[in-house]
Amino acid sequence: MTDFLKRTWATIDLDAIRDNYHAILGMLTPGCRAMAIVKADAYGHGAGYVSRALRDAGADWFGVSNLDEALQIRRAGITQPILILGYTPAREARRLAEYGITQTVCNGEYGEELSRVAAAAGVEVRIHIKIDTGMSRIGFLCQREKELPQAVAEVSAICRLPSLVPEGIFTHFASADEEEGETFTRLQFSLFQAVVAALEEKGIHFALRHCCNSAATLLYPEMHLDLVRPGLILYGLFPSSWLAGKLPLHPAMELKTVVSMVKDIPAGSVVSYGRTYTASKETTLATVPIGYADGYPRSFSNRAYMLVNGRRASITGRVCMDQCMLDVSGIPGVREGMVVTVFGRDGGETLPVEEFASLCGTINYESICLIGKRVPRVFLSGGHTVGQLNYIVPEEETR
């Protein structure tokens, strides 16, 4: 297997992802299945490798954001059903049918257009109906009881259109991950159940009803229904800090870089752009080849840490596009080529991605999704490298 460029890279533990999937399955109510959410390149982890690992662990449904993502994992070898959770232009009906991809329908006009295009192409498209019970994003509006009759009428009309095969119905919770979110989550679930019940009275039945994201999967077993849609927890992370420990999960991603140069600077030396840091004493600096173009935010300048030899080393001066500097004074044995942990484990010390995220006022979801595409993903299983994904030089991908 071709070695990867040891500049900056992310390691992805496929065993952890499989273990997390099995842990999720173990807490589901009888008869419920899990749709593995692998949108956004499997939350930055590498959709092809991750999807295959989940397939091998038994995953029989996958969720993505758009058609390109669906085709990406189809071409990676996924033959199981895939649901596109977002918008696909109706003109793509033939490709949806050709690749066996299920499409979300979120309003009447779109459903009618998809039906017309599919019929003209002589194909059938499987669909899931999206109900907006409180996100105000996409879906048939039903955030209040008075909106129920119209939502039911519109969905009923869509389900009777030619060339569409309604197989599922779902909603999405807006605040299931919040400590004060239970009341609103239960309201959303009640509205969703009311829509489903009213449709059943009209003779419209769905094989798959689903509403639980990662947080709701952990908190509300009575809402599991036919499918749950775990995303972040597949990757070993929790949607909120107060949910940590609800399930034994293992973070799958670690971000690594290396020391490219070590130098001593005298007191009074300034460091990096803008001279925002001045050494108060003789200081040992280690330069590392990671910067904001790799997804390491400029806002970490003079604020964040990395792990060097199992010890925290502070960012010194401004983070550049491709590099930044660490104060490694007092850390023994620092040398060129030494591995540095941006987040993850180093010896007995851990720098969690949640700390990484909190420094720039965001969430762990965003931090892992924004790891740059020039950062290769290196996949591990059984403690050994089993593949790599190089977005810049794609021919370096191996399986």
Identity of the residue numbered 108: G
Active-site annotation holds for 281: no
Active-site annotation holds for 292: no
Cα-Cα-Cα-Cα dihedral sign, residues 109, 112, 114, 120: negative
CA distances in angstroms from 104 to 108, 123, 155, 169, listed in the order given: 12, 17, 12, 9
Strand-strand pairing, 305-308 and 311-316: antiparallel
Q: Are 127 and 102 in contact (CB under 8 A)?
A: yes
Q: For helices 47-56 and 67-75, give the axis angle rounded to 10 degrees.
A: 60
Q: Using alpha carbons, select from 310, 311, 384 the residue that is nearest to residue 347.
A: 310
Angle at 147 between CA 142 and CA 149, to 5 degrees: 110
Start-end of H helices in the chain: 14-25, 39-43, 47-56, 67-75, 93-98, 108-121, 148-159, 182-201, 214-219, 353-359, 364-369
Q: Using alpha carbons, select from 368, 338, 385, 384 the residue that is nearest to residue 255.
A: 368
Active-site option among 87, 220, 273, 365: 273
Q: Using alpha carbons, select from 138, 79, 78 the residue that is nearest to residue 106.
A: 138
Active-site option among 39, 43, 49, 305: 39
Q: What is the rounded CA–CA span in Å between residue 140 and residue 137?
A: 10
Residues acting as catalytic residues? 39, 273
